[in-house]
């Protein structure tokens, strides 16, 4: 880093982009779908994420708020979207506010989007500089009754720090106390959970990059390598294929480390006879993939390892068939639990007494398979989706059963990303990534 200036790099400028962007028509459609769900005479505001400091003058790499990205395609800091479908002046119904560039910014950080580039990216015709936002909002507030606030209501969220969105909501409530409020998130949960064809294409690209990384590992792994060396091989392959890197913090867990579900230290040496659980995947264009494979350090599974592995694989394959339109989330997981119970009994890990004496709130199989089988995936690795609603066509889910046996030093999880179809078995976006034990052993021998 050059002394005297914080650097904030945005890689995806018009004309110089790391990834192939979606067409602006996608974002036009997304905004129209959102606005069609808004109350009359209401304004919705979406803020970009903060740039988070580390210490001194260093900051974390910028990551765009996924809701703003979903509605605009703009991947730049200090961006605000305002939607007012009932505005008297048609040009004020969609407004994008972006950071104004200048010669100083161009030298130190690289030029930001011009107004015409912002329009080209998003399909929004009315673009102002960010410093004009509060003035424009104040003018429009005289004509609206309700503000839609974009609060984080994901079922896994555990945010403790105050975000830019939080600060805006406080300021807006204080300045406009007579206005009503509504929530953007329930609308976005429904919209974002069903993927457009363009989004599925981006996710397929992320899965294809992940495949390249995994195949690279099969040639690299052997006794004596370190978990962090495997991580280095993956990040090299991901970045050279136009990904920013990992879609989430990678889990590279050899031996008993695999029995720590969110093990991310990746610091141990891989020993002969152990298995390595690899929960690692690439992003592409801000869309996630999510892969888990478990491979033998020595290139060959023992009989016991193979038996447990194939039990997990059978559960994954059968669970995938259950992901069809109309399926209820709760029913799905209960059926997967039955599949896993049968496999654990065949492996000798459970017996009839365990089943007869189990607590209905904590079934016996949970001793060896303690996490959920699936989650939505898309712009977020744990993506939007209202779990009380039935599954629908073009929702995308992970399928990731596992069996964890600390006493044997074995933890096996397998995971693919699949698209729910109107009829038949879901499409597996990771169908080309090796998963059968024989293929993995054969590729590792080569």
pLDDT digits (tens, 9 = 90+) for 323-337: 999 999 999 999 999
Average pLDDT of 285-303? 98
pLDDT-based confidence at 110, cuts 50/70/90? confident
Average pLDDT of 251-261? 98
Measured from the Cβ of residue 366, the count of other Cβ atoms closer than 10 Å reads 15
Non-local (6+) Cβ contacts of 444 within 8 A are 218, 219, 221, 295, 296, 299, 300
pLDDT at 109: 82
Percent of the chain residues topping a pLDDT of 90: 90
> Which domains are present in the chain?
24-193 (3.40.350.10), 197-445 (3.90.230.10)
Contact, 291 vs 214, CB < 8 A?
A: yes
pLDDT at 238: 98
CA distance 237 to 128: 39
- 416-419 and 396-399 strand pairing: antiparallel
CA distance 39 to 290: 36
| 292: nearest Cα among 203, 370, 214 | 214
Residue 295's DSSP bridge partners are: 276
Average pLDDT of 140-150? 97
- Burial level of 153, CB count in 10 A (0-12/13-18/19+)? middle
Average pLDDT of 236-263? 98
pLDDT at 3: 47
CA distances to 14, 58, 106, 140, 430 from 99, in Å: 15, 21, 12, 21, 38
pLDDT at 16: 61
Q: Which helix (H) or strand (E) holds 445?
A: helix 437-445
Q: Which helix (H) or strand (E) holds 438?
A: helix 437-445
Q: What is the DSSP track for 224-252?
A: T-BHHHHHHHHHHHHHHTT--SBSS--EE
Q: Kindly tell me if the per-residue pLDDT of 13 is higher than 50.
A: no
pLDDT-based confidence at 211, cuts 50/70/90? very high
- Burial level of 241, CB count in 10 A (0-12/13-18/19+)? middle
CA distance 305 to 222: 17
pLDDT at 8: 39
pLDDT-based confidence at 316, cuts 50/70/90? very high
Question: Phi then psi for 59, rounded to 5 degrees?
Answer: -135, 160
pLDDT at 115: 95
Non-local (6+) Cβ contacts of 211 within 8 A are 430, 432, 433
Question: Phi then psi for 151, rounded to 5 degrees?
Answer: -80, 155
CA distance 403 to 311: 9
Q: Which helix (H) or strand (E) holds 101?
A: none
| 433: nearest Cα among 268, 292, 240, 298 | 292
pLDDT digits (tens, 9 = 90+) for 351-408: 999 999 998 889 999 999 999 999 999 999 999 999 999 999 999 999 999 999 999 9
Question: Phi then psi for 95, rounded to 5 degrees?
Answer: -130, 130
| 96: nearest Cα among 52, 126, 132, 57 | 126
CA distances to 10, 11, 13, 14, 118 from 18, in Å: 10, 6, 9, 10, 17
pTM value is 0.94
Non-local (6+) Cβ contacts of 77 within 8 A are 8, 10, 48, 49, 51, 62, 64, 99
CA distance 254 to 228: 11
Average pLDDT of 142-148? 97
Percent of the chain residues topping a pLDDT of 70: 96
Q: Please, what is the angle between helix 303-321 and helix 329-346, to 10°?
A: 160
Least trusted range by pLDDT, from 51-55, 196-200, 395-399: 51-55
**Count of alpha carbons within 13 angstroms of residue 23, beta-carbon side:** 7
């Amino acid at each position: 880093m050059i002394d005297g200036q914080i650097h904030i790099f945005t890689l995806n400028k018009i004309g110089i982009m790391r990834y192939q962007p979606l067409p602006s028509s996608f974002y036009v459609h997304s905004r129209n779908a959102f606005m069609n769900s808004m109350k009359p005479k209401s304004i919705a505001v979406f803020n970009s994420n903060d740039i988070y400091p580390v210490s001194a003058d260093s900051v974390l790499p910028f990551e765009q708020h996924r809701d703003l990205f979903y509605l605009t395609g703009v991947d730049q800091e200090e961006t605000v979207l305002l939607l007012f479908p009932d505005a008297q002046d048609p040009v004020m119904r969609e407004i994008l506010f972006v950071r104004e560039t200048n010669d100083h910014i161009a030298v130190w950080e690289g030029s930001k989007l011009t107004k015409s580039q912002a329009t080209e990216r998003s399909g929004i015709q009315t673009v102002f500089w960010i410093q004009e936002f509060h003035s424009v909002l104040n003018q429009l507030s005289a004509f609206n009754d309700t503000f839609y606030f974009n609060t984080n209501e994901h079922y896994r969220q555990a945010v403790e720090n105050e975000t830019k969105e939080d600060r805006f909501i406080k300021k807006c409530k204080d300045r406009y106390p007579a206005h009503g409020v509504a929530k953007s998130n329930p609308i976005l949960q429904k919209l974002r959970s069903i993927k457009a064809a363009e989004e599925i294409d981006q996710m397929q690209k992320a899965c294809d990059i992940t495949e390249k990384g995994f195949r690279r590992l099969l040639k690299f792994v052997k006794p004596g390598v370190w978990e962090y060396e495997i991580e280095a091989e993956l990040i090299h392959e991901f970045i050279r294929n136009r990904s920013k890197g990992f879609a989430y913090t990678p889990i590279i867990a050899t031996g008993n480390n695999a029995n720590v579900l969110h093990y991310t230290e990746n610091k141990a040496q891989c020993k002969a006879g152990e298995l390595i659980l690899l929960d690692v995947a690439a992003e592409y264009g801000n869309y996630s993939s999510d892969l888990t494979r478990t491979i033998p350090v020595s290139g060959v599974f023992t009989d016991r390892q193979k038996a447990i592995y194939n039990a997990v694989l059978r559960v994954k394959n059968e669970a995938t068939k259950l992901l069809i339109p109309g399926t209820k989330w709760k029913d799905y997981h209960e059926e997967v639990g039955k599949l896993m119970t049968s496999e654990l009994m065949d492996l000798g890990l459970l017996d009839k007494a365990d089943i007869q004496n189990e607590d209905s709130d904590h079934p016996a199989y949970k001793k060896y398979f303690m996490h959920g089988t699936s989650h939505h995936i898309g712009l977020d690795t744990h993506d939007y989706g209202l779990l009380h609603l039935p599954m629908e066509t073009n929702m995308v889910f992970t399928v990731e059963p596992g069996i964890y046996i600390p006493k044997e030093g074995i933890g096996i999880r397998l995971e693919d990303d699949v698209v729910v179809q109107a009829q038949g078995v879901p499409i597996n976006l990771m169908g080309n990534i090796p998963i059968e034990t024989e293929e993995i052993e054969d590729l590792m021998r080569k």
